[in-house]
Structures are given as C-alpha cells and as structure tokens.
Amino acid sequence: MKKESFSTYETAWCPGCGNFVILECLKEALEQLGKDPAKVLMAAGIGQAAKTPQYISANAFCGLHGRALPAAVAAKIANENLTVIVDTGDGDSYGEGGNHFIHNIRRNVDITHFVHDNQVYGLTKGQASPTSMVGMVTGVQTDGNFNEPLNPMLLAIAAGAGFVARAFTGHKEQLIDIMKQAISYNGYAIVDILQPCVSFNKINTFGWYNKRVYELDESYDCENKAAAMEKTMEFGEKIPLGILYREKKLAYHQKNQVLKTAIPLLERKTDPNVVKKFIKSYI
C-alpha cells in the first residue's frame, strides 16, 4: 500500500462543492510529485476556497482577503526551497486581489496559483464575482449582473504569464496532470479551475460546464502567444481545458542579484564587517 504523506481534515464546505475535488486532486498531485508536507506552503486569502490550506497537512498561511499573492511570493523569496502554492477563489484572486494578480505575473516568482473559479461569491452568500456572467441575478445584482465578466486567462497572458491553464473539477485526471505541471513550472503558473457552487450559482452548474468543456489535444500549440490569446476568448458554447499558454522565462530568483547566488535568503547572515564598512563610509 502506498504511504500517504498528505492528509486532509474535516472541512466546512457544502456537500457537493467543487472544492472537495480540488482538494483531493491537489493532494494527489503533491503525492505524485513526491513533495514533503513540511516543505510545502499553502497560502490563501479569505473565502470558501481560501480555507483549503486549513484542510491539508502542509504549512499554511491564511492571510488577508485578496492578499495571498504578495505574502506567498515573499515567502518564496525568503526560502526558495519551499513549494509555494496559492490556493483560493475567484473573488480573492481577481477581485480584492486584482492588482497583486497583475503585478505578480510581472514579478514571475516561482509559485503556483490555483483559482477555484465558481463565478460567484460563496462565503458572503451569493453576490456576483469578477467572473460572474452577465444576467446573473443576486441579492446585490438585483436586476441581473450587467458588468462584463473578467477573462483571467486572457489577462494573464497579456500581463506576461508564462504558464496559463484552465481545468474543470469534472475532469479530474486532467486537473491532476495540469496541477503537477503548474507546480513543476519554473515561474508563476496560474490555473483557473472551473467548479460548480452548489449553493449560490444556479447558472454555471456542473452540468452547464460539463456540456461545454473539451480538452485541448496535441494539435493545439500552447507556445503560440497570439493563438493562445484567441483561444482564451473561447468561453461560451465551448470552453477549452488544458494548458492554454506556456513560455520559458527567467523566474524572479534567477534575476535578482542576491537570490541568484543560490543561498536561500533566510540562511544568509549579515557580515559585521560589511556593516562597519557602510558606517565608515559616512565619516
């Protein structure tokens, strides 16, 4: 029998929630990659999806709403031996945390970002999220949501992300495979994971997604940026799943002069002679 490194704990999610699948697939991906829980850091902000780090046996940083990315990239900068995964929702990632989403793509710190995208706010009970479709009626969008939904995949490619993928909780094998590739990618990798919200999203149900999604096959060239951007705009009758765009890039630690030296930042010590030299330079 295979020895399991990662355990999962009792959750506070609704029965039938897509989060369960994501949690199980994440655990499976980490197992298959042979990761040590003590060397994995799960980071999140606030929301139903953002509780994921609490439910898996790894290091966990559950910080502020929308602010998982800055904390997570800095943790990775501090200790490059950590496998850092931000695992949180669409509101946390694209709404409250939108600014950090854009700028951490530019930074390209070697972390992985899994977005549980159910196109609705769960923990605050059913309001529109940045990816909610036009027409969705909620307790706030009482006349139906009339704001255009954000296209996170297109935005990610446009901002310069080197690993952009979409998955669906109904396609578990593919989800695990994409998760493994994203975690192994050198740089910032984003995976937008479509999932039903059984309590609040009555439009984008499991069946709704299931009818529309299809897996990209080998004929799709994920290294062609223009074609990839066009592919990300396919979201309606058909929704492509898979790695939409992939590009080799230098990650933050390969560009920063201090991190380049391969000594993890947290292991560095300040040389008193260097301090003395700096002080003397003012005399």
Residues in touch with other proteins (CB under 8 A)? 37-39, 41, 43, 46, 51, 53-54, 57-64, 67, 69-79, 81-82, 99-100, 102-103, 107, 256-259, 263, 265-266, 268-272, 274-276, 278-280, 282-283
User: Going by C-beta distance under 8 Å and a sequence separation of 6 or more, which residues neighbour residue 152?
Assistant: 90, 93, 94, 101, 115, 117, 130, 131, 190, 192
Do the Cβ atoms of 94 and 150 come closer than 8 Å? yes
Of residues 205 and 254, the one with the C-beta less far from other proteins: 254
Distance in angstroms (rounded) separating the CA atoms of residues 31 and 8:
12
The answer to whether 75 and 110 are in contact (CB under 8 A) is: no
CB of 121 to other proteins, least distance (A): 18
Taking the complex as a whole, the smallest distance from the CB of residue 106 to other proteins amounts, in Å, to 9
Smaller CB separation from other proteins, 67 or 249 = 67
Q: How far is the CB of 50 from other proteins (least distance, A)?
A: 10
Q: Rg of the chain's alpha carbons, rounded to an integer?
A: 20
Q: How far is the CB of 80 from other proteins (least distance, A)?
A: 10
Rounded to an integer, what distance in angstroms lies between the CA atom of residue 124 and that of residue 111? 28
**12 vs 226, which CB is nearer to other proteins?**
12
Residue closer to other proteins (CB basis): 37 or 240: 37
Tokens of 124: 């605050």
- At 30, which helix (H) or strand (E)? helix 18-32
Measured from the CB of residue 64, what is the shortest distance to other proteins in angstroms?
6
Q: What's the length of the chain? A: 283
Residue placing its CB nearer to other proteins in the complex, 34 or 272: 272
